[in-house]
Chains A and B, each alone.
Chain A
C-alpha cells in the first residue's frame, strides 16, 4: 500500500462523470476540413513547411519551429492544404491565430513510418528527438514540449516519476476512458519515459472514483515495478502540486518546478502519445476528447483528429443546439467559455461541455464579503483568498503579492464555496494581469531610463572631447602665434637698424596725433560726430544681414508649406515674408553703405597720407 498524504483545503463538487463514461471511446471520423493552429504548445510558434495547394500525407510534418522551443505539427490525414489563414483558435479571449486548413482526400494515406520497438538500443537523446519530432507537448492542458520536460537539468535528478491519472475536474473523463481502454499503451508510454529518466520510483495516481481504470491499470502493470496509488476523490487532487503532495508529502517550492524536488508529473494522454511515437512511429495527430453536458444527447469520448472542429464533434454527439447556453472548453472549475464552436481540437483539448442553462446557471449577484473564511478553508495552496480579494479590489497589488498572489493556481475552489458568490478567481486574474503589466512597464521604463542615461553620458563625453580638442587647437594656435611672435621679434631685432627712418616717421606721426588731440580738446562743442562716422560697425551689420536672411528663409519655407497645405495663415505669413524681405534689403543697404563709407575713409586716409 502506497503511503499517502493529504493536501490542505479542497472541495467535493458534483462529479457528473457518469454522463460521458457510459459509452466506449468512439472514432470521430473525418470532418470536411481540419484546422491546424501553428501554435499548440508553449514556446515559439511553428512555421508552415507546406504551401497552399500542396498534397500532404498522413503523419507528414507540415509545420515546425525554425529555432527555439517548440514541437512540429503533422497532417492528421492525407489531403490538400487548402489555405493558411487567421482563424478562431481555442483561447479564453476568443482570438484568431495562424492556422493551416487541410482538406482531407478521404484516402487517409500514411507516409512511411519507422517504429522503434527496441528503443532501449538507442541513445536517450535519440529517443527524445523521436518524441520531439512526433510533435508531443503536454496534453494535460499546458502544452509544454514533452522532450524538454523529459530532460531536466543535470543537477535535477528525477527520483519519482508520477503519471497523473487523478482527473479531478468534474465532467472530464478523457483520461479515465483512455486508462480503461488503452491501459497497455499508457503503461508502455510510462515505461519509455521511465527508461529515459531512470527514476527510483514510478507511480500512477488515480482518484478512487475510477474503479474500472484502476482495475485495467493493475492488470497492465503486472510484472513491472510501477505503483498504483489510489487517492481519495477531492478537487483539485489532480493539480500537479497537490498530486505531488499527496504522493510524496513534499511541496514544490514557490516559483520552482517539480524537478527541483526530484519529481516529475506526466499526463495520461502524453504517455499514450509517447508510446505511439516510439513504438509505432506515429506522430501526435489525434487525441481523446470528452464531449459532455446536458445539451448533447449522445455524450461520450471521441478519438478525434487534431484540427477537428468542435462543431463537428458536437454534431457527432447529437447536440441540441437550442439547449446550449454555455460552451465550456475544459472542466467546469478551470475551463473557459467559447465564443464559437468553430474552434478546432488542439493537442491540449480534453473536454467540451455543452451545458444547458439549468446545468450551469449564471451565479447570483455578488454580495459583500463577510470574511467568513470558507475560501481559506477550501484553498489547496493555503492562501488567504479573502485578503487577496480585498487587495485586488482596492488595487493594492503590493499587498496582494505579499500574500503570495502568484502562488494561486486559479483552481476556483474559493469561488465555488463563496456564500457571497464573489467571482474571486476573476479578481486574482485581474490583479495578476495588472501586476504583469506594471512589471513590463517597469522594465520598459528602466530600459528607457538606461537609454536616456547612456545618451546623456555620451553627449557629455562628446562635449568633453570637443572641449579637449578645442583646447588642444587653442594651445596649438597659441604656440604657433608665440612662435610667430618670436620670429617677428627676431626679424625686428635683425632689421632694427635699417628701420630708423620708419621709427622717426612714427615719432612724427605720434607728435601729429598729440597735436590733433590737443586741437580737438580745444573745441569741445563738436565732439562725437567723428567717431560715429569713423566706426560703422561692419561686423554687426553683417551679422544682422545674415540673421535677417536666415529669418526670411525660414519664413519662406513656412509660407511654402502653408501654401502646399492651403492653411488659412497664408496671408499672415506672406506679410511676414514681405516684412522680412524689407528687413534684409535694409540690412543690405546699410551694409553696403557702411562698406562704401569705410572704403571712402580708407581712400581719404590714404590720400591724406
Chain B
C-alpha cells in the first residue's frame, strides 16, 4: 500500500486566511452598528455596495489574469477591502465615487501589483486617497449630520436614493462638517469654547463619532484577543498621535485637543483595522511599533498643519513607502546571536 509522502510538519492548525478575514469583518460590526445608529443608513449602504463592487472587480481581474477565481474570492480579502472603504467613505458619497475608490483599490493597488500578498500599498487607502484628491467636493460635503436613526436621520429609502442619484452633493440639511474639519477651520479665528458650540460636537467629545470610535476600539480589542492582529501597530499608532498631541497641542485654543484626535474621525478604524493590514505593514514587533508610531505622528502633522482634516489614508500610504526600510533595520535578534543583523546583505548597516 502506498503511504502519503509529505514533508514535516504533519499537523496543522486550521485558521485559514478566509477565517481570519471573516473575523476582521465580524470585529468591524460594532463600529458599523454605531455608524448606522448615529449617522443613518449611509455607511451600511456603502459597505454593501463596496463589498459587491470589490468582489466583482476582483473576480474580473482574476479571470483576466487566468487565476482560479473561486479559490481567491473565497479568501475574503476583497470583501474586507470593500468593507473598509464602505466604513471610511462619507455617508452620502455618490455611488460612482465609491465605485471608483473600490475599483482602483482592487484593480490598481492590489491585482496589478500581483494580487493578494504582493501589494506594497494598502489597497483601501489607495482607493480612498485617489477619490479624496480627485473628487474633493464629493468627499468633503457628504458627511452626514449626527442624527440617530430614531431621532431625525434620513430614512433608508431617502439615503439610498441620494447615493444612487449620483449628485456630487447631497441634500444640504442632511450633511454637516465633521468635528475635525470644523475645529481645524474655526480655531484660527475663534476660541475653543466658541468652536465647540457647533452641533457637530454635541455634549461629549464629538457627537456620534465617539461611539463609532468606541465601536472600532472594541472590535480591535477583539482582534487582538483572538491574536489575529498584534497590539504593536495600534499601540504605536495611538501613542504616536497622543504624544504629538500632548507635545504640540496642549493649548485647545490653538489646536484640536487630544480627545478630539482620539475619538473624532477615523482614528480607531485606522489604528485597528487599516494600519494593521499585514500585507503592507512592517513585520517585526519593533518594526510594527515604528510603523504605527509613524502613522500616528503623520496623522497629527497633516491634521494640524496640512490641508486635510483627517489624514489616515495619506499617513498609512506614506508609511507603506517606509515599510521595506523599516523591515531591513528592525529584524529581531535571533536566538544564539549577540545582536540583530540589520540592513541588507553586503551593506554596512
Q: Is B246 an interface residue (CB 8 A)?
A: no
Residue from A377, A382, A410 in contact with B334 in the complex, judged by beta carbons closer than 8 Å: A382
Q: What are the 3 A-B residue pairs with the smallest beta carbon separation, nearest first?
A: A412-B9, A368-B117, A254-B336
Q: Hey, which chain A residues are within 8 Å of B336, CB to CB? A: 241, 251-256, 381, 407
B284 touches A429 (CB 8 A): no
**Min distance, Cβ A383 to any Cβ of chain B, angstroms:** 6
A373 touches B283 (CB 8 A): yes
Contacting residues of chain A (286-339) with chain B, CB-CB under 8 angstroms: 321-322, 324-328, 330, 332-339
B7 touches A251 (CB 8 A): no
Q: Hey, which chain A residues are within 8 Å of B150, CB to CB? A: none
The answer for the CA separation of A336 and B71 in the assembled complex, in Å, is 29
Interface bits A401-420 vs B (CB < 8 Å: 1, else 0): 11110010010100111111
B341 touches A381 (CB 8 A): no
Q: Is A425 an interface residue (CB 8 A)?
A: yes
Q: How large is the interface on A (under 10, 10 to 19, 20 to 34, 35 or more residues)?
A: 35 or more
B1 touches A321 (CB 8 A): yes
Q: A369-B117, A370-B77, A371-B117 are in contact. Are A337 and B6 (CB under 8 A)?
A: yes
Residue from A326, A370, A404 in contact with B116 in the complex, judged by beta carbons closer than 8 Å: A370
The answer for the CA separation of A382 and B337 in the assembled complex, in Å, is 10
Q: Hey, which chain B residues are within 8 Å of A394, CB to CB? A: none
B332 touches A384 (CB 8 A): yes
Interface bits B7-45 vs A (CB < 8 Å: 1, else 0): 111111101110110000000000000000000000000
The answer for the CA separation of A399 and B343 in the assembled complex, in Å, is 10
**Min distance, Cβ A312 to any Cβ of chain B, angstroms:** 16
Interface bits A1-41 vs B (CB < 8 Å: 1, else 0): 00000011001011000000000000000000000000000
The answer for the CA separation of A325 and B5 in the assembled complex, in Å, is 9
Interface bits B264-284 vs A (CB < 8 Å: 1, else 0): 000000000000001101011
A364 touches B16 (CB 8 A): yes
The answer for the CA separation of A426 and B17 in the assembled complex, in Å, is 20
Q: A368-B115, A370-B77, A372-B278 are in contact. Are A416 and B4 (CB under 8 A)?
A: no
Q: Hey, which chain B residues are within 8 Å of A412, CB to CB? A: 8-9
**Min distance, Cβ B192 to any Cβ of chain A, angstroms:** 41
Q: Hey, which chain A residues are within 8 Å of B9, CB to CB? A: 332-334, 412, 415-416, 425
| 18 contacts across the A-B interface (CB closer than 8 A) | A13-B13, A322-B1, A324-B1, A325-B4, A336-B7, A337-B10, A357-B4, A360-B10, A363-B12, A367-B16, A369-B117, A371-B283, A377-B227, A380-B335, A382-B332, A403-B341, A410-B8, A416-B13
Q: A253-B336, A382-B335, A425-B8 are in contact. Are A324 and B3 (CB under 8 A)?
A: yes
Give me the interface of A with B, judged by CB distance under 8 Å.
7-8, 11, 13-14, 170, 241, 245, 251-256, 321-322, 324-328, 330, 332-339, 353, 355, 357, 360, 362-365, 367-374, 376-377, 380-384, 386-387, 398-399, 401-404, 407, 410, 412, 415-421, 423, 425-426, 429
Q: Hey, which chain B residues are within 8 Å of A386, CB to CB? A: 283
B337 touches A338 (CB 8 A): no
The answer for the CA separation of A13 and B332 in the assembled complex, in Å, is 25
Contacting residues of chain B (305-349) with chain A, CB-CB under 8 angstroms: 327, 331-337, 341, 344-346
The answer for the CA separation of A334 and B10 in the assembled complex, in Å, is 8
A420 touches B10 (CB 8 A): no
Residue from A11, A326, A369, A425 in contact with B3 in the complex, judged by beta carbons closer than 8 Å: A326
The answer for the CA separation of A399 and B346 in the assembled complex, in Å, is 9
Q: Is B169 an interface residue (CB 8 A)?
A: no
Identity of the chain B residue whose Cβ is nearest the Cβ of A391 in the assembled complex: B345
Q: A339-B3, A382-B335, A423-B7 are in contact. Are A372 and B116 (CB under 8 A)?
A: no
Identity of the chain A residue whose Cβ is nearest the Cβ of B332 in the assembled complex: A382
**Min distance, Cβ A103 to any Cβ of chain B, angstroms:** 26
Q: A382-B332, A387-B331, A420-B17 are in contact. List 9 more A-B contacts (CB 8 A).
A: A170-B11, A252-B336, A335-B8, A339-B3, A372-B278, A386-B283, A407-B335, A415-B9, A419-B17
Q: Hey, which chain A residues are within 8 Å of B181, CB to CB? A: none
Q: Is B230 an interface residue (CB 8 A)?
A: yes
**Min distance, Cβ A250 to any Cβ of chain B, angstroms:** 10
Q: Hey, which chain B residues are within 8 Å of A241, CB to CB? A: 335-336
Q: Is B134 an interface residue (CB 8 A)?
A: no
Identity of the chain A residue whose Cβ is nearest the Cβ of B68 in the assembled complex: A365
Q: A332-B11, A371-B117 are in contact. Are A381 and B4 (CB under 8 A)?
A: no
**Min distance, Cβ B86 to any Cβ of chain A, angstroms:** 21
A355 touches B10 (CB 8 A): yes
Q: A337-B6, A420-B17 are in contact. Are A407 and B11 (CB under 8 A)?
A: no
Q: Is B182 an interface residue (CB 8 A)?
A: no
Q: Is B191 an interface residue (CB 8 A)?
A: no
**Min distance, Cβ B292 to any Cβ of chain A, angstroms:** 13
Q: Is B75 an interface residue (CB 8 A)?
A: yes
Q: A370-B77, A381-B334 are in contact. Are A419 and B16 (CB under 8 A)?
A: yes
Identity of the chain B residue whose Cβ is nearest the Cβ of A357 in the assembled complex: B4
**Min distance, Cβ B152 to any Cβ of chain A, angstroms:** 42
